[in-house]
Amino acid sequence: MPYAITVVPIMPLRAEQSHKSEIISQALFGECSEIIATGSDGWVRVKCQYDGYEGWATVNHLETIDEALFNAPYTHYTASWVNQVLLNGKLLQAPFGCVVKHGTTDVTNWGKVSVQFEEPPAEIGNGNAVAITALTKASFLYLNTAYLWGGKSVFGVDCSGFTQTVFKTLGIHLLRDAYQQATQGMTVDFVQEAKTGDLAFFDNAEGRITHVGILLNDHEIIHASGKVRVDPIDNQGITNTDTGVRTHKLRIIKRYFQQQTIA
């Protein structure tokens, strides 16, 4: 199957091959995919390299690349809220958290497209020695970002897109959806034992995990609910700071990195 790379700031992944179809996820600038099917009117079905998510995209959001670039590791990420990139010599504004495979200010080629970052992207963190300051800085870049079903960027994000993208910059691989992320990591028994960077998961009345957020400590969580916000959490779940209403019922807490952290 052909390999491709995203060459727009944010590429919607849709459930069906129509602009009216539900956005189920996104691929950010620089993310690679496999084209697994070709539809009509310029639609292609892609499988995202990073998390295996599949959806329909328009082919003009993608550039065909060779296998060598597809198999190269992601090494850097765009570290500012908005990042200026020259794409074939023309300006593109890439959001925070785009992971890329060649993060220098030199001109590089993605297939037939030339790419040059005006400022060098940051190196992806070492997932075995997470800098807590980097985690909190990345998390708070999303503060007040509107909730968007399927979103993964600072322009609009859902709960698991938020956690996945923040953790991606730290070198920690998370799956796409909240219930999938809950299958990873090690269980923390009580919220009082939680540490910065643990993820808390919440379920609905049917017991299905439907929400996730990043714990800032044992009593505060940053999460995408209406917008990205900080709320108090206890053993029962989240209470909305503004309304005082209990909004999410705690199901489980997971830890994804050892707490021997660097500054």
**Which tens digits make up the pLDDT trace of 8-34?**
999 999 999 999 999 999 999 999 999
The encoded tokens of residue 7 equal: 């060459």
Compute the mean pLDDT over every residue in the chain, rounded to the nearest whole number.
95
pTM: 0.95
pLDDT tens profile 69-111: 999 999 999 999 999 999 999 999 999 999 999 877 789 999 9
The encoded tokens of residue 153 equal: 């960027």
Please state, in angstroms and rounded to a whole number, the distance separating the CA atoms of residues 195 and 54: 33
Q: Which pLDDT score is estimated for 166?
A: 98
How far apart, in Å, are the Cα atoms of 250 and each of 2, 86, 179, 208?
42, 44, 13, 12
Other Cβ atoms within 10 Å of 33 Cβ, number = 29
- pLDDT bin (cut points 50, 70, 90) of residue 1 is low
Please state, in angstroms and rounded to a whole number, the distance separating the CA atoms of residues 51 and 15: 16
Closest by CA position to 29, among listed 10, 51, 44, 46: 10
pLDDT tens profile 134-183: 999 999 999 999 999 999 999 999 999 999 999 999 999 999 999 999 99
State what percent of residues in the chain have pLDDT above 90: 93
110 forms beta bridges with: 113
* Average pLDDT estimate for 50-64: 97
Residue type, 103: G
Topology at the third CATH level for domain 132-255 = endopeptidase fold (from Nostoc punctiforme) (3.90.1720)
Please state, in angstroms and rounded to a whole number, the distance separating the CA atoms of residues 206 and 200: 18
The CATH H-level (homologous superfamily) assignment of domain 3-123 is SH3 Domains (2.30.30.40)
Q: Which pLDDT score is estimated for 106?
A: 87
Q: Which pLDDT score is estimated for 259?
A: 62
The answer to whether residues 236 and 245 touch, using CB atoms and an 8 Å cutoff, is no
The encoded tokens of residue 194 equal: 């939680």
* pLDDT at 262 exceeding the cut of 60: no
Query: Which residue has 């329909």 as its token pair?
Result: 56
Cα 109 to the center of its chain, rounded Å: 24
38 forms beta bridges with: 44
Domain boundaries, the chain: 3-123, 132-255
The encoded tokens of residue 135 equal: 């985690």
* pLDDT at 65 exceeding the cut of 90: yes
